[in-house]
Structure 1
Amino acid sequence: MRPLIVLHGAWHRPAHFDDVAERLRREGADVTVPDIGGLPLAESTRLVQEIVDRATEPPVVLAHSYGGMTASGLRGAGHLLYVAAFVTKAGENIQYWIKRVEQETGREAAPMALTVDDAGLTHLEPGPVRENLYADCTDAVADRAISLLRPEPVTMFTGSALAAAWEDTPSTYLACTEDRAIVPDMFAHFAKRCDTTVTWQTSHSPFLSRPDQFAALVRERL
């Protein structure tokens, strides 16, 4: 099996992937889940690039949500698995995609409810977060996931991607039809950039709601 690097999304932590990571490790996979929370995009990309460069062979990079911004800036990956993620090229940022999709559809493209504090940190509002991120998870799984969430700098919306690794790296897009964080009008654009699209009827976090099926999907690419 090839090494696996897992990139969590915004407001999340490596611990959100504990279940799936441990399942794969028990089967002999070399799994690394770096903490990229709060880092500027250039810094998170450098951190993960160092892990890619040290790998014994080109690794599979699994990127969830905002983690796709970092994944798209990497060189030397063996496969990119985007999970309800941003698939970006140089110069694109989240703000660009929100505006683009809203102009194309006339509908809200950023349904996540959040607040910004005086320090410039964004906080997900606790009320809607379960429906937006974990709608199909059990109460116990959702409660743990919510307890792990943390603030992210507001600059995450304007930090621009550095490259487009998907242009010359094999890639898979996992589209989640019940997602409430990345709307279908947006992820349709991202899926078109990938070689293969897999569509599941899940919320934004299938690694939590369908861990067995999710681990199997990852294993097929290792």
Structure 2
Amino acid sequence: MEGRQLMINRRTFSTTAVAAAVASLIVARGMAATPAALVKARNIVLVHGLFADGSCWSEVIARLQAAGLNVTAVQNPLTTLPEAVASAQRVLARQDGPTVLVGHSFSGMIVTEAGMHPNVSALVYVAARAPDAGEDYTALAKTFPTPPASAGIIFDGDEGRLSEAAFLRDFAGDLPEEKAKVLYAIQEPFHKALLTGKTTQAAWRSKPSFYAVSTEDRTINPDLERFMAKRMGAKTIEVKSSHLSLISHPDEITNLILEAAGD
């Protein structure tokens, strides 16, 4: 009797364990975000990162406008992450329908957070940060070799900027020098507090995402870009470019944005 009872108990335990495992798997799958289907969008909102301002999108803007799209470049204040996100959210609120939100470099943080706005239909990351909710991006980046541009950051009190040598070599390395010097002259300093912010949401977990990796990037490690793109399940392209692919390869970046817009 004891043997039969033991067999039943083992069978019950085994059945219960399997059922629990299946239930856990179902719950896990239910919790996993499934990006929504891509919808057609006529609005594009572009956000710039560090060492730049909204004018860095000029080449892409002209091409998107020629395709008949409504385009707005956000002027990122580069002060704190919440203030930067708020600047993008104000622009997103003015859009009259589905909108593709595009971020370059640091502004991938903004895209990841502000991308939860109901007007946002798809996300495009251009050599950009793409953290998960609550993730320490700095800690993530340290798991990959440090890119050369990091050594070129100069601080004046609480404001940081790239030295001219680092800007020309490591940020805009594939641009003609005269053009890179113009961009260097208009770079907007960032506040130290900006780098301490963490996203509270990850829009890429629920919205269609696209990523342009810069294979010659000396500002964000290209393998880190590939890791983030793969993790989010993004449609990914690779561009043989410096960190500024939006300027040196505007056709490729424009075409990726048009794809995200359903064109």
Structure 1, 58-67 or 136-145: larger mean CA deviation: 136-145
Deviation track 1:121-151 (CA, whole Å, cap 9, x = no partner) reads 1121111211211111123322222222121
Q: Residues 221, 59 of structure 1: CA spacing in aligned structure 2 closer, same or farther, 3 A cutoff?
A: same
Helix, strand or coil: the match of 1:4?
A: strand
C-alpha displacement of 1:24: 1.7
2:45, 2:99 within 8 Å by CA — same for their partners in 1? yes
Partner residue, 1:199: 238
Helix, strand or coil: the match of 1:220?
A: helix
Q: Which runs of 5+ in 1 are unaligned?
A: none
After the TM superposition, list the runs of 4 or more consecutive aligned residues in structure 1 that deviate by more than 4 angstroms: none
Distance in 1 (alpha carbons) for counterparts of 2:175 and 2:165: 16
What TM-score comes out, normalization by structure 1 length? Answer: 0.89
Looking at secondary structure, tell me which structure has more helix per residue: 2
Partner residue, 1:108: 146
Query: Where do 1:36-55 residues align within 5 Å?
Result: 36-55=76-95
Q: Sequence identity of aligned pairs in percent?
A: 27
Query: Where do 1:127-206 residues align within 5 Å?
Result: 127-192=165-230, 193-206=232-245
Q: Residues 194, 49 of structure 1: CA spacing in aligned structure 2 closer, same or farther, 3 A cutoff?
A: farther
What TM-score comes out, normalization by structure 2 length? Answer: 0.76
Q: Residues 115, 139 of structure 1: CA spacing in aligned structure 2 closer, same or farther, 3 A cutoff?
A: closer
Helix, strand or coil: the match of 1:39?
A: coil
Helix, strand or coil: the match of 1:36?
A: coil
Q: Which runs of 5+ in 2 are unaligned?
A: 1-40
Partner residue, 1:23: 63
Helix, strand or coil: the match of 2:46?
A: strand
Query: Where do 1:12-91 residues align within 5 Å?
Result: 12-74=52-114, 75=116, 76=118, 77-91=120-134
1:52, 1:58 within 8 Å by CA — same for their partners in 2? no
Letter of the structure 1 residue corresponding to residue 141 of structure 2:
I
C-alpha displacement of 1:213: 3.1
Letter of the structure 2 residue corresponding to residue 188 of structure 1:
R
Distance in 2 (alpha carbons) for counterparts of 1:93 and 1:2: 34
C-alpha displacement of 1:170: 0.1
Structure 1, 166-175 or 84-93: larger mean CA deviation: 84-93
Letter of the structure 2 residue corresponding to residue 207 of structure 1:
L
Distance in 2 (alpha carbons) for counterparts of 1:17 and 1:140: 18
C-alpha displacement of 1:110: 6.3
Letter of the structure 2 residue corresponding to residue 144 of structure 1:
V
Deviation track 1:72-123 (CA, whole Å, cap 9, x = no partner) reads 0021211100000001122224422233x15xxxx335642112122x1112
Helix, strand or coil: the match of 1:38?
A: coil
1:95 aligns with 2:169: no
Q: Residues 94, 125 of structure 1: CA spacing in aligned structure 2 closer, same or farther, 3 A cutoff?
A: farther
Size of the aligned set, in residue pairs, is 216
